[in-house]
């Protein structure tokens, strides 16, 4: 099978990386961008003069724009041109926006896949670039060879909202990890140290902590297993005072730690002092459906 023709709407930093990866994989590529001139350097693309022209050029249409409003604005009036095509929206959206986009596309006879790119532009085209998708499996299979040009495509389910939800979940974990590391860098800087100098200690520590995630995830899903917590929340809450006093003593802001302390104290006040950190998820998502197994 020859490589599927693909249209890319949006030539921001990420859209250009997507178009370049498609070209490198041998796909015929048409592009459109609101501001002309951004296809410079993408040798081999066809620059479409209008969105309907770009949409009609290919069975797979990729949108990668600033936000959902930009997608609405770009596709305004081009709905009928999408009939029979797969619209792959790689713009960052909310789950509800993804579902609304899918309904809109279906109304025009198009299949829709919503994607969450778990990569930065230089990673696009490498196997390290994970892209999450939600939408119908047949559409995913139709578009798979094009989507494989971006990195590793993973279909999470037929609900288009599942990709943005997991996108936000992974980004949340990333920001928590980065936030902690940035706090640590600030603290060592206050004592004359360097971030680079901390890495030989920080990396193995984070690796060790990441290895505890399996156990924590099992407790979140299944509830307490009767084993005494090795680091109960009452102890952690008390220790947090020392962390904050240390920051104050060094004259370093501790903004990224404060919400954790607040939640720990709330958990202890609610009677969960003998539990492990999984109890915090019960505070964060108290009304959510309890997973099977609890
Ligand atoms: N870059 C990254 O690291 C992240 C990685 C994870 C996924 N995100 C999401 O990808 C979407 C696009 O991001 P981007 O990095 O390409 O963003 P920009 O370079 O700022 O380009 C924005 C493009 O959107 C066009 N645009 C903006 N508003 C409109 C509109 N109303 N109508 C039509 N197009 C619009 C803009 O066009 P122009 O300014 O050149 O005319 C750019 O093509 C985004 O959802 C990230 O969250 C990237």
Q: What is the pLDDT of residue 6?
A: 98
CA-nearest residue, atom 6 of ligand 1: 117
Q: How many CA atoms lie within 13 A of 122 on its CB side?
A: 0
Alpha-carbon distances of 180 from 111, 120, 173, 184, rounded to whole Å: 41, 21, 11, 6
Quote the pLDDT of residue 288: 73
pLDDT of residue 291: 62
Q: How far does the centroid of ligand 1 lie from the alpha carbon of residue 221, in Å?
A: 36
Q: pLDDT-based confidence at 287, cuts 50/70/90?
A: confident
pLDDT digits (tens, 9 = 90+) for 89-112: 999 999 999 999 999 999 999 999
Q: Which atom of ligand 1 is nearest to the CA of 93?
A: 45
In this model, does residue 293 exceed pLDDT 60?
A: no
Q: What is the rounded CA–CA span in Å between residue 27 and residue 218?
A: 43
Q: Using most ligand atoms within 8 A of CB, pick from 10, 48, 78, 166 the residue to mutate for ligand 1.
A: 10
Strand partners for 30: 7, 46
pLDDT tens, residue by residue, 178-222 = 999 999 999 999 999 999 999 999 999 999 999 999 999 999 999
Cβ count near 56 (within 10 Å): 17
Beta bridge partners of 48: none
Ligand 1 atom closest to the Cα of residue 35 is 41
| DSSP-assigned beta bridge partners for residue 116 | 132
């Amino acid at each position: 099978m020859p490589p599927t023709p693909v249209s890319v709407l949006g030539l921001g930093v990420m859209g250009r990386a997507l178009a370049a990866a498609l070209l490198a994989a041998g796909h015929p590529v048409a592009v459109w961008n609101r501001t002309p001139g951004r296809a410079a350097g993408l040798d081999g693309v066809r620059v479409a003069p209008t969105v309907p022209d770009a949409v009609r050029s290919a069975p797979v249409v990729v949108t990668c724009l600033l936000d959902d409003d930009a997608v609405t604005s770009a596709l305004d009036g081009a709905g009928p041109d999408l009939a029979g095509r797969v619209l792959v929206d790689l713009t960052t959206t909310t789950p509800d926006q993804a579902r609304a986009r899918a309904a809109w596309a279906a109304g025009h006879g198009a299949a829709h896949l919503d994607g969450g790119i778990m990569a930065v532009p230089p990673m696009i085209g490498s196997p390290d670039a994970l892209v999450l998708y939600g939408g119908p499996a047949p559409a995913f299979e139709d578009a798979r060879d094009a989507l494989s040009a971006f990195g590793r495509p993973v279909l999470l389910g037929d609900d288009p909202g599942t990709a943005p939800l997991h996108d936000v979940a992974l980004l949340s974990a990333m920001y928590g990890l980065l936030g902690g590391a940035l706090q640590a860098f600030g603290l060592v800087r206050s004592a004359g140290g360097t971030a680079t100098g901390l890495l030989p200690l920080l990396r193995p520590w984070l690796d060790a902590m990441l290895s505890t995630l399996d156990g924590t995830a099992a407790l979140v899903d299944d509830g307490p297993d009767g084993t005494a917590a090795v680091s109960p929340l009452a102890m952690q809450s008390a220790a947090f005072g020392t962390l904050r006093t240390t920051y104050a003593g060094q004259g370093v802001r501790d903004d990224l730690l404060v919400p954790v302390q607040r939640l720990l104290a709330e958990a202890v006040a609610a009677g969960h002092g003998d539990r492990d950190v999984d109890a915090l998820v019960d505070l964060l998502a108290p009304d959510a459906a309890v997973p099977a197994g609890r």
